[in-house]
Amino acid sequence: MNFVDIIIKKRDGGKLDAEEINYFVAGVTDGSLPDYQISALLMAILLKGMDEEETAQLTMGMAVSGNTIDLSSVEGFKVDKHSTGGVADTTTLILAPLVASVGVPVVKMSGRGLGFSGGTIDKLESIPGFRVDVLEEQALAFARKSGIVVMSQTDDLTPADKKLYAMRDVTGTVDSIPLIAASIMSKKIAAGADGIVLDVKCGSGAFMKDLESAESLAEIMVSMGRRVGRKVTAVISGMDQPLGMYIGNSLEVMEAIEVLKGNVEGDLLEVSLTLGANMLLLAGRVQTETEGKELLMEQIRNGKGLEKFREMIAQQGGDVNIIDNYDLLPLSPVKMEVKADRDGYITKMDTAMIGRASQETGAGRMFKGQPLDFGAGIIMKKRTGGAIATGETLAIVYSESKEKCDSAAVFLKKAITIAEKPATEQPPLIWKIIRQED
């Protein structure tokens, strides 16, 4: 097969068949295709798109390009969750133990963060002793025993996606919705879950800035799930301000624990309950979303969600004492309060810029492989829509040096708009839920 012909076919708007797509994936995986030809096809896909059938074929090809996880030894309907990323997006640490505590197994592979703050794996690694590099057999043993395991992605899972992801990053082809969908879904399919709930973020702190693009991505991934035999639901949620109040790694662990203790309400809890309830719906554990939310809230009130989180920490080598003593978690030594310089109302937050402030503290990465300061980050003290007085604290910044705190404070002040009058309305927290039967 001549790969140049495949490039030309897509360049001219043609539809690639299964043989051509599989040839592409195989060439990426084994290194037989040169980078310049891979880049050419990626750009052609960005410009000309892929239909649903092509995208599904690319997804499955990438999913089986390496090892796949067989969860058949774990009883029950296994569920997974994926977020397209945001600021203070701590939902996995909350919903995974809650869902597992009602008998629905959660086996989740998560990644490290590149950007605003650490990924789920980085957050868990801020817990002293917690092991994320779990071998497959050990992970399955954990899942059979406790019904929950959250681990880092294995090196041999979806190798084609790893190579294409790196190539897209340096060729200006990140924004292709078929390529984004195939990247996300190939990893989820390879990880073996029966059902997947996708949290597609929309807003100033999200990859998808507007509802139209978020819907397009959500719909193609839900449709792909149907094509490949997976139950998939997509929740489009708002990211026009940080989801939680704590931004960082150990800080987000603290807030997740506080939610599980029943001490925190608001957006973070609501999105966690919405995602978790839809995981229960996919598993057939409840009949309605409302029933699912009520069940998960009961697991908070009776302490069973927190106990499942404690069980997960213990099984993966972490210090369970952090649940009752946050002093055992890292916290950077320099603390700075960022204060309002005028009276008024907080009408808007540039969430991406707040994420940039988090990077400045050391909580997030500027480049792949950069070490994190697990104790760095930001505690927000205000939400959009609220009144603020001159000198009142907007946020508290933690870092290893005053210079880093100062730098973060500059971004924070730029990110928060204070106006004389309150905004007439705020963007919704949950924009839309797309299910396979809809």
Mark whether 237 is an active-site residue: no
Give the other-Cβ count within 10 Å of 239's Cβ.
31
Looking at 82, 201, 382, 404, which residue is catalytic?
A: 82
Domains of the chain: 3-49 (1.20.970.10), 79-324+431-435 (3.40.1030.10), 330-419 (3.90.1170.30)
DSSP H or E run through 198 = strand 195-202
Respond yes or no: is residue 168 known to be catalytic.
Answer: yes
Per-residue pLDDT of the chain (438 residues; tens, 9 = 90+): 899 999 999 999 999 999 999 999 999 999 999 999 999 999 999 999 999 999 999 999 999 999 999 999 999 999 999 998 889 999 999 999 999 999 999 999 887 765 556 689 999 999 999 999 998 999 999 999 999 999 988 778 899 998 998 899 889 898 899 999 999 999 999 999 999 999 999 998 888 889 999 999 999 999 989 888 899 999 999 999 999 999 999 999 999 999 999 999 999 999 999 999 999 999 999 999 999 999 999 999 999 999 999 999 999 999 999 999 999 999 999 999 999 999 999 999 999 999 999 999 999 887 767 789 999 999 999 999 999 999 999 999 999 999 999 999 999 999 999 999 998 888 999 999 999 875
Residue 144 is among the residues annotated as catalytic for this protein: no
Bridge partners of residue 232, in order along the sequence: 196
Calculate the CA 292 to chain-centre distance: 21
Q: Which of 89, 161, 199, 373 is catalytic?
A: 161
Give the pLDDT of residue 113: 63
Catalytic residue, from 10, 81, 112, 187: name it: 187
Integer Cα distance of 127 and 314 in angstroms? 11
How distant, in Å, are the alpha carbons of 26, 53, 93, 116, 438 from that of 176?
A: 21, 16, 29, 22, 25
| DSSP per-residue codes, 113-178 | --SSS--HHHHHHTSTT------HHHHHHHHHHHSEEEEEPPTTBSHHHHHHHHHHHHHT-TT-HH
Enumerate residues 6+ apart whose C-beta is below 8 A from 169: none
**Closest to 37 measured CA to CA, from 46, 24, 48:** 24
Taking the C-alpha atoms of residue 412 and residue 338, their distance in angstroms, rounded to an integer, is 8
Q: Contact 251/326 with Cβ under 8 angstroms?
A: no
Helix then strand then coil, % of the chain, to nearest 5: 45, 15, 35
Read off the pTM: 0.93
Q: Which of 10, 112, 163, 168 is catalytic?
A: 168
Write down the residue that tokens 């390009």 correspond to.
65
Task: Give catalytic status of residue 82 as yes or no.
Answer: yes
Q: Distance between alpha carbon 126 and the CA centroid of its chain, in Å?
A: 17
Task: Single out the catalytic residue among 110, 146, 183, 186.
Answer: 183
Give the residue carrying structure tokens 């807003």. Answer: 203
Q: What is the pLDDT of residue 118?
A: 65
Nearest one of 35, 42, 44, 40 to 14, comparing CA atoms: 44
Residue pair 187/65 in contact by the 8 Å Cβ criterion = no
DSSP assignment of 200-259 equals EEESTTSSB-SHHHHHHHHHHHHHHHHHTT-EEEEEEEE-SS-SSSEEESHHHHHHHHHH
